[in-house]
């Protein structure tokens, strides 16, 4: 494995770092309080080319980045931008909406949707989670019944990232519940489709600048040309997209951890107690050393998974290890950042405590930590029941 970077790749990372530092809005604390999504920042990212990084030019993208370069870019974005909600939303659209359309869509679907998504004119959502099935796609309750004119969809999706502001959703439904995961099928459903309702945003602990909501389908008729891929391929489509999503969402988290470390080191060097910098106290310096250790070990797992994906090799085990380890490292480092800052870190106006609230979401989305442990154990031959 070669994780070295070319001068061109490093220059692109620096360009992303500078752009996000300069162009992203500085009112994150206020928008976090109001649970306010920034459409202006979303469009600024599109103008730079973020949403189009891995999409060919013929479909409105820049065609610039393979998975390693995209991951490097999102790491830089996480370091420069403290709106982790925005970055989570970008990654969700790029890897679980755009990539499936690129890999599984018809030429007509690609031509219709990808340019709009890359330009920022449209926003896309990935709708799989339900009240009684999230990580367990075997138990998906939304149905897609063959009918005159295409398919009739019924069901409710919950905790759908970007649903309240989305123009398009990749919706997963079962054409035959008896077939389990092999009945799951993906559909492209536009906001204005009759029988489809995109709900309001729900309040949540963290990632408050990113709207989550329901998508309700009530006798929603979609023509056959809205199906994404063949019948029964939805599970495979979702799993393939998830490995890419984990790489780049977690890259943004790694970047955020790097930003936390820089802020903590500066605070420990310049804040004095008992006549000396607080960084001179071992209880403080040890926390900072732990933050650095987590960054470096998590980075190795992250780069390995991206490298495996670029080489076209299976990354199921490594992706599960990465998701489990890096998301929990981010929680631990966010808590340590607050402790280093003391009461200053506990005050919302200082922007430190938000890191922990945002980090907690990472142990749930894209497969919970418990599910990742089940996947790892199962791939090691222990035959656990969940997360297959």
List, by residue number, the catalytic residues. Answer: 245
Element (H, E) at 112: helix 107-119
Q: How far, in Å, CA of 126 to CA of 186, rounded?
A: 10
Can you tell me which residue has the tokens 């998830």? 242
The string of DSSP codes covering 87-142 is HHHHHHHIIIIIHHHHHHS-HHHHHHHHHHHHHTSS-EEEE--BTTBSS-GGG---
DSSP 3-state assignment of 60? coil
130: tokens are: 């339900």
| Joined tokens for residue 221 | 């008729």
Backbone angles phi, psi at 271, to 5 degrees: -95, 125
Find out whether 253 and 362 touch, Cβ atoms under 8 Å.
yes
Residue with tokens 């019944």: 145
The DSSP 8-state label assigned to residue 203 in this structure reads P
Estimate to the nearest angstrom the gap between the alpha carbon of 354 and the chain centroid.
18
Residues in CB range of 203: below 8 A, 6 or more apart = 35
């Amino acid at each position: 494995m070669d994780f070295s970077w070319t001068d061109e790749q490093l220059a692109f990372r620096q360009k992303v770092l500078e752009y996000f530092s300069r162009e992203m809005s500085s009112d994150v604390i206020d928008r976090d309080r109001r649970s306010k999504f920034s459409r202006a920042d979303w469009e600024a990212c599109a103008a730079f080319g973020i949403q189009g990084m891995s999409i060919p030019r013929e479909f409105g993208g820049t065609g610039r980045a393979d998975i390693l370069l995209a991951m490097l870019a999102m790491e830089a974005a996480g370091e420069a931008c403290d709106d982790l909600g925005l970055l989570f939303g970008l990654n969700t659209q790029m890897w679980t909406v755009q990539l499936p359309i690129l890999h599984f869509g018809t030429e007509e679907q690609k031509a219709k949707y990808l340019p709009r998504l890359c330009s920022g004119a449209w926003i896309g959502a990935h709708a799989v989670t339900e009240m009684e099935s999230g990580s367990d796609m075997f138990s998906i309750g939304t149905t897609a019944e063959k009918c005159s004119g295409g398919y009739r969809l019924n069901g409710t999706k919950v905790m759908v990232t970007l649903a309240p502001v989305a123009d398009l959703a990749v919706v997963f439904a079962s054409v035959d519940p008896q077939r389990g995961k092999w009945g799951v099928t993906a559909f492209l459903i536009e906001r204005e489709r009759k029988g489809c309702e995109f709900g309001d945003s729900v309040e949540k602990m963290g990632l408050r600048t990113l709207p989550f909501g329901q998508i309700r389908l009530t006798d929603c008729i979609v023509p056959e040309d809205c199906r994404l891929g063949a019948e029964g391929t939805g599970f495979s489509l979702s799993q393939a997209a998830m490995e890419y999503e984990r790489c780049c969402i977690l890259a943004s988290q790694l970047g955020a951890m790097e930003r936390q470390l820089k802020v903590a080191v500066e605070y420990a060097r310049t804040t004095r107690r008992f006549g000396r910098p607080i960084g001179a106290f071992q209880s403080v310096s040890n926390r900072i050393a732990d933050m650095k250790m987590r960054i470096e070990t998590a980075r190795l797992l992250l780069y390995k998974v991206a490298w495996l994906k670029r080489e076209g090799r299976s990354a199921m085990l490594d992706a599960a290890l990465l998701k489990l380890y890096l998301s929990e490292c981010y929680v631990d480092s966010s808590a340590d950042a607050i402790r280093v800052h003391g009461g200053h870190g506990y005050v919302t106006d200082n922007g430190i405590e938000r890191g922990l609230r945002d980090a907690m979401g990472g142990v749930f989305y894209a497969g919970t930590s418990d599910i990742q442990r089940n996947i790892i154990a199962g791939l090691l031959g222990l035959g656990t029941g969940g997360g297959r």
